[in-house]
Amino acid sequence: MASGPTHRSPARRSAVVRAAVALLLCSAAVPACASTSEHGRDRETPRAGRASHPSAAAEKAARAKLLPGMPAPLDPHDLYAADRPGRLAEAVKRFPSRVYVPNTLSDTVSVIDPKTFKVIRTIPVGHQPQHVVPSWDLKTLWVNNDLGNTLTPIDPATGRAGRTVDVHDPYNLYFTPDGKHAVVMASKDRQLVFRDAHTMRVVKALPVSCYGVNHADFSPDGRYFIVSCEFSGELLKVDTARMKVVGQQRLPVAGAMPQDVKISPDGRKWYVADMVANGVWVLNGDTFSRPRLLSTGKGTHGLYVSRDSRRMYISNRGEGTISVLSFDSGKLVDRWRLPGGGSPDMGGLSADGKVLWLSGRYNAEVYAIDTRTGKLRARIPVGGGPHGLAVYPQPGRYSLGHTGIFR
């Protein structure tokens, strides 16, 4: 098992990719897009008559930088540009707004109406459901029944569960940006299992040398993703197309326990929550360099990007707080404390971005938090051990999995 970082993706490659994608999008997908200076200030879009359109060859080269079949980002400077308030894809516009809560100790999913803050349905599922995961095409919600070795599909149009699918050790579930493969985080099996995104047929089982693979996120070009290994305190870097581990490093704190993984809007930084280090690790994913720790709170667990891509909400499960990080400054700008305490864990944002929904892992409840004030709007009783809840539908063109990573 590697004790230090190894990598095969130099920083120069990242800069070239970002520049190429920017040229492509400003010429084709976003004709009126503005560019951003190195200090973050908007620069004027080139005026008519100037040479602002790259050649067909340049456009072809830019597309070649992306994972084949992957939709190009809407904005080269903001990976979450498709996640603006209310910007629902055509496929989900008619779905009723619901919060789906997997209860690991009750083997059920509680369905909450966000308007009334009440549980309106309880769905029996398999043994120890861990996360509710939107499919890449946004049409299905997959319940990960970890110890039941199954996935339960839920139709978000009706809220009804379908026939279970046999999938071994599905602790968590992700989708490659091209929509071809599901990636099962088989924690106990110590594998990343690439499956057909629609049939769930195994394409490749990738053994790993770390323990407890659980969360991930993808690079701007979709060429690689970074995975956290909670039980051995390590990170993996995986080549998406080759389905191969190309980097591995141990976090520089004894007993580190990495959890959620999230990339910054500009694609330059990666954040990894750590329950034992009580903060988020910040690193460069391209160089896969040694990370630095930003302390946030006890039991740091979940990471969620605001609808305007300016802030990240960080749940601190061990102390009942949510820290707020500014992407611009890289510093914490607020901390919200749940009145009476709690155990905020995993969740997501409402479609308009005004409410942050989090499960209360050790309190059999769900929290609805106002993102403008940080005030608790509701505390809703659910089943035992609520974990990776999904707010659905949410804005975005496609899902990368987990409780909802949309681009």
Q: Average pLDDT, stretch 189-211?
A: 98
Supply the DSSP symbol for 325: E
Residue 32 has pLDDT above 80, yes or no: no
Higher-pLDDT residue of 22, 201 = 201
Q: Average pLDDT, stretch 242-260?
A: 97
- The model carries a pTM of 0.86
pLDDT band at 209 (very low <50, low <70, confident <90, very high): very high
Q: Average pLDDT, stretch 104-119?
A: 98
CA 279-280-283 angle, to 5 degrees, is 145
Residue 39 has pLDDT above 60, yes or no: no
Please state the domain extents for the chain: 90-392
Alpha-carbon span 109 to 100, nearest angstrom: 6
pLDDT at 36: 34
Q: Average pLDDT, stretch 358-377?
A: 98
pLDDT digits (tens, 9 = 90+) for 291-327: 999 999 999 999 999 999 999 999 999 999 999 999 9
Collapsed DSSP state (helix, strand, coil) of residue 151: strand
Write down the mean pLDDT value for the chain.
89
* Among the ranges given (38-47, 257-266, 365-374), the one the predictor scored with the smallest mean pLDDT: 38-47
pLDDT band at 4 (very low <50, low <70, confident <90, very high): very low
What is the separation, in whole angstroms, between the first and last Cα of the chain?
A: 33
Alpha-carbon span 84 to 309, nearest angstrom: 9
CATH H-level, domain 90-392: superfamily = YVTN repeat-like/Quinoprotein amine dehydrogenase (2.130.10.10)
pLDDT at 64: 74
360 CA to centre of own chain: 19
pLDDT band at 42 (very low <50, low <70, confident <90, very high): very low
